[in-house]
Amino acid sequence: MSRIYQFKYFIVLALLTAVFCLTPVTLARDFYAPDGAMYIGVDYYPEHWPEQRWAEDLRLMHEAGFNVVRVAEFTWVMLEPEEGRFTFDWLDRFLDLAQQHEIKVILGTPTASMPAWVARKYPETLAMKPDGTRSTWGGRKNNCFSDGTYRLLSERITRAMAEHFRNHPAVVGWQTDNEFGGTDCRCHHCRQSFQDWLRTKYGSLDRLNQAWGTHFWGHTVQRWDEITIPDSREGTWAIANPSASLDWMRFTSWLNVRFQGDQVRILRQVCPDHFITHNFMGLFQDMDYYDLARDLDFVSWDNYPVFATMDEPGFAYSPAMAADVMRGLKARNFWIMEQSAGPLGWGSFSRNLRPGELRQIAMQQVAHGADGMLWFRWRTCTAGREQYWHGLLGHDGKPGRRYREAAAAAGDLRKLQDALRGTTVEAPVAMIYDYDSLWALRIQPGFPENQYLANLGRYHRAFLRAGVNVDMVPPDADLSGYRLVVASSLHILPDETADRLTDYVRRGGVLLADIRTGVKDATNLAYDRTLPGRLSQVLGVEIPEYEALYKVRYRLRVEEPLQGDFEASLYADWVEPKGAEALAVYDSWPVQSYAAITRNQYESGKAWYVGTIVPDETFYDRLIGALLSDAGIQPVMTPPAGVEISVRSGEGRRLLFLINHLEKPVTVQVPLEAKSLLGETQTPGEISLPPYGATVLQLVR
């Protein structure tokens, strides 16, 4: 090889190495502003207010310590009033003004709400309802995602915006569309696209017929164009083929992902320096969020926890679980793109946020990995469907209590931002979060209350009460870093996943599996195996029979370490231990001889099986306590009832969040050496939190 050739070879190699090494860094764009500030701000709708008011709003935002707004996600007709004619001047003026007030801007691609001219010129862009009629124009999120015209129109407005705004100094990033999901369009395009998608997936009709089990009722498909959209008219999937229904759910999710991909490709090409995110909806069930997150720099989500605690203020469990799911989508921190700012609702509105609650809601999300915070919305709108979805400011536009509380929260986040930077949640526990199983249980729950989120929630809540952080991870995640894995409701359990779980236990992990696990294969056909199928050996049990319990409850005889007076409800696996120890057995006729809860020592690890649902939450506290002890996990401290703790760590720092969910003050004993980052004066070892109080301590190792 000549020297010059060797040299060239060396350069190419060096370049390739550089690309490989740098790619993750450059792709994983930073969450923070270039000046190191956390992005904090609001969702703003300049089009809702007279232009003369913009400067006043921006001034107030700046005074509140905000540095970012999201705008434009519903302004398509204002940016493109007729096909191909663009009017960006008003948004230019807003961006200039924002820049003058040191407020950065995230632009939303405006495709969630189509202009009237789109529907008029191209009626096929409107989604078709199950009854064969098109959605009426005038709502939002009512487009067909497989329609080529809509995709082209979406690409055109995205490209036009990207090219126009790419060099504006105020613009830092993009939000694609708004809250992807649905639309369950049933037009002939969607049907054909579904057929094409299936052809690509299965390759041959034989394979499709096998995967869908079409020998049942003689439903063999003989031509691709015979495939119909599974019928879900009765609000359930009961009348459709479960395998076809699952593929339909995967397909509609994919349509959204592809639609987003069209926009992302353009934005990456035209605006390489901007980040791209999307506003997810936490525990929303119609999308495979792992897929949707893949193309993005980071996930953002819209958090409205007041719904969860509307009747009975108390521990806001579901926003914590949603946050853990959001962090799990890309195994990295996330933003809140819409954070509750006041009473909310469409026709009727919710309770108001209690003093301190606005800040507490934000702190809870930061505790779970939020690195950006935008409140929805700046000012309560005087028109349209969301006149009762209250913002920081009321209809009157006066900065009142909620504005002041958000400003105070922003001030605290500014105090925390340096310490937070580079930290994320430290979780010794993983819970598997799997859209296939979630969807399969929606199609055929087995018993009506068998809801995936409720099932996982029972464990997640107990972890929260125990003060232990949890990562929600996909079924193919690397589990080796976790000491405890909860694999609840893995109804669809491909053999590879079962083998990975088995391997995890073999190497010393502690695993929990439970009801209806391992029932189905990836195509939603029931396995011809005794339950729990491929997990039988690791769990040391067989389940020859099972039943749904309607109104009936079985008494449980519960052994150490779970001991208590508990009942089995809703569902019972008739578990036969095959090597596992029975920790709870049924104590009612006719199931006395069967176990309900078992634990098996398998090689170096332990595998638990929970074959029923216990209506008493205390049971789950005991169960999680026992699992943590098997896994050798000690929470940093045990929080008092109603108080949530969370730990973020990184860059040599460990930050302990304390969040009071109660409407009364609490005193928390902190048995650790720690200093407050928010400057409260504290009695050593003791922190007083007001109602809805929240604080952050840096642990001294």
Q: Name which of residues 226 to 285 contact ligand GAL (CB under 6 A).
A: 279
Q: Check binding of 620 to ligand GAL (CB under 6 A).
A: no
Looking at the Cβ atoms of 140 and 555, the one nearer to ligand GAL is: 140
Spell out a b/e string for 460-492, using b for 16 or more CB atoms within 10 Å of the CB, else e. bbbbbbbbbbbbbbebebebeebbbbbbbbbbb
Looking at the Cβ atoms of 380 and 497, the one nearer to ligand GAL is: 380
Looking at the Cβ atoms of 376 and 435, the one nearer to ligand GAL is: 376
Q: Name which of residues 292 to 321 contact ligand GAL (CB under 6 A).
A: 302
Q: How many Å apart are CA 471 and CA 429, to the nearest integer? A: 6
DSSP 167-188: T-TTEEEEE-SSS-------SH
Min dist CB 144 to ligand GAL, Å, is 20
Looking at the Cβ atoms of 39 and 459, the one nearer to ligand GAL is: 39
Min dist CB 279 to ligand GAL, Å, is 6
Query: What does DSSP assign to residue 452?
Result: H
Of the listed 47, 80, 124, 179, which one is catalytic? 179
How many residues of this chain interact with ligand GAL, rule: CB under 6 A?
8
Q: Check binding of 183 to ligand GAL (CB under 6 A).
A: no
How many Cα atoms sit within 13 Å of 567 on the Cβ side? Answer: 10
Looking at the Cβ atoms of 387 and 667, the one nearer to ligand GAL is: 387
Min dist CB 178 to ligand GAL, Å, is 5
CA angle 583, 587, 589 (to 5 degrees): 140
Contact residue for ligand GAL among 75, 109, 125, 178 (CB under 6 A): 178
Q: How many Å apart are CA 87 and CA 132, to the nearest integer? A: 36
Contact residue for ligand GAL among 147, 179, 371, 405 (CB under 6 A): 179
Site string for ligand GAL, 654-683 (x = CB under 6 A): ------------------------------
CB-based contacts of 328: which residues, under 8 Å, 6+ apart? 433, 471, 472, 473, 474
CA angle 101, 107, 110 (to 5 degrees): 140
Site string for ligand GAL, 325-344 (x = CB under 6 A): -------------x------
Q: How many Å apart are CA 595 and CA 171, to the nearest integer? A: 60
Looking at the Cβ atoms of 376 and 657, the one nearer to ligand GAL is: 376
For residue 532, give Cα distances in angstroms to 377, 490, 519, 578, 686: 48, 10, 7, 12, 47
Looking at the Cβ atoms of 361 and 591, the one nearer to ligand GAL is: 361
Of the listed 338, 405, 542, 567, which one is catalytic? 338
Pairing of strands 581-586, 595-602: antiparallel
Min dist CB 386 to ligand GAL, Å, is 5
Min dist CB 322 to ligand GAL, Å, is 13
3-state secondary structure of 255: helix
Min dist CB 302 to ligand GAL, Å, is 5
- The amino acid present at 25, given as its one-letter code, is V
Q: Among all residues, whose Cβ is closest to ligand GAL?
A: 389
Where do we find the tokens 């400003």?
407
Confirm whether 617 is a catalytic residue.
no
Residue 82 CB neighbour total at 10 angstroms: 11
Q: Check binding of 286 to ligand GAL (CB under 6 A).
A: no
Confirm whether 338 is a catalytic residue.
yes
CA-based torsion, 217, 218, 224, 225: positive or negative: negative
Q: Of 327, 202, 194, 298, which Cα lies nearest the Cα of 254?
A: 194
Tokens read off for 470: 């949890």
Q: Name which of residues 372 to 411 contact ligand GAL (CB under 6 A).
A: 376, 386, 389
Residues engaged in binding ligand GAL (CB under 6 A):
178-179, 279, 302, 338, 376, 386, 389
The set of catalytic residues is 179, 338
